[in-house]
Amino acid sequence: MSRARSSDPDPAADLPRLPDWLRGLPGETLEDAALSAGAALALLHQVQSRAQTPLALWRARLALQAAAQTARHAGRPEREAAIRDALCLMRPGDAPGPAGEIGLAWQRAVERPLSDETLARALPHLAAGQGAALPGAPIQQASAAIEAALAEAPRDHLTALVLGDAALARALGWSHLLPLLGLGLTRRDLGAGGVDLRLTCHRAVLKAAGPALQLAADLARQAARLQSVVPKLRVKQSTRAVQLVLARDAIAPAMLTGLMSDRAARRFCDRLVELGAARELTGRETFRLYGL
């Protein structure tokens, strides 16, 4: 993808980054880890108030990464590309498969404002009362939610991680779930409990924050590039189509056929690539997917 000219202002210039000194904190004690994680969460909070970040796309991309991590927990071989295919190429009535189900759950967890209804849509098997608010500081609430979920179903890491990130987002007053623990916790980490799990959750937040902040900056630049080429897109519904690209991890041209013909949708996506405003994500000649 072509870059903005060096003379152009950087759309991500005022977005926060995770400083090197914060990455280097030892985090050996719960107090140290809590300090580091709290600083990282403050930076992530800032990103969510900046208009230049395409927040829906940011959350969707992080959800895809969390889905791949959760698939690893289950010992599945599928990675991001395979889960993306399952989500974007699935037809009505199709079964997404086990890894696709994981991806669908994370996607549903992040795409709507956080609520009991959102969690029930993401995790239809949730029992009444699961996901309710717990006492304590934000990461303490998150670790308690994970521990409670694993006590109910020790092998259901997906539910535990979604509920952990939901508890964290609610405690912080965020409108949407952000998959931080889903990204930062490993299968081995979830074998801990009590104070050990809380310490691991603090470390996981710091681990996930750096890449999440970098992704926000990258997407802000790419979104600005995409918006800049809209006048060159001679398609009647180009503005609405661009909004769809900015809201999803990836799109298939078929997703645009409600706005334009099938042929026009394919040409629109290829034109975005020609202008350096989007990428073709699969490397395939057929069943192609596009995104920032």
CATH 3.30.2000 at 229-291, yes or no = no
Give me 97's structure tokens.
């498969």
| C-beta separation of 244 from 250 below 8 A | no
Q: Is the pLDDT of residue 4 over 60?
A: no
Q: Which helix (H) or strand (E) holds 280?
A: strand 279-280
| C-beta separation of 255 from 270 below 8 A | no
Q: Greater confidence, 13 or 282? A: 282
Q: What is the pLDDT of residue 28?
A: 79
Comparing 19-23, 110-114, 170-174, 259-263, which segment has the lowest mean pLDDT? 19-23
Q: What is the DSSP string of 246-264?
A: TTSS-B-GGGGTTTS-HHH
User: What ranges in 89-237 are assigned the alpha helix state H?
Assistant: 97-111, 116-122, 138-152, 157-172, 181-184, 194-228
Q: Which helix (H) or strand (E) holds 137?
A: none
pLDDT band for 26, please (50, 70, 90 cuts): low
Instruction: List, in order, residues 6 or more apart from 65 with CB less than 8 Å away.
Output: 80, 179, 183
Share of residues in the chain with pLDDT > 90 (%): 80
Burial of 114-132, coded b for 16+ CB within 10 Å and e otherwise, reads beeebbebbbeebeeebbe
Burial class (CB in 10 A: 0-12, 13-18, 19+), 155: exposed
**Listed residue (111, 118, 113, 134) closest to 56, CA to CA:** 111
190 torsion bin: left (phi>0), alpha (psi -120 to 50), beta (else):
alpha
Distance CA 78, CA 200 (A): 25
Please write the tens of the pLDDT for every residue from 221-265.
999 999 999 999 877 788 899 999 999 999 999 999 888 999 999
What residue spans define the domains of the chain? 28-220, 229-291
Q: Is the pLDDT of residue 195 over 70?
A: yes
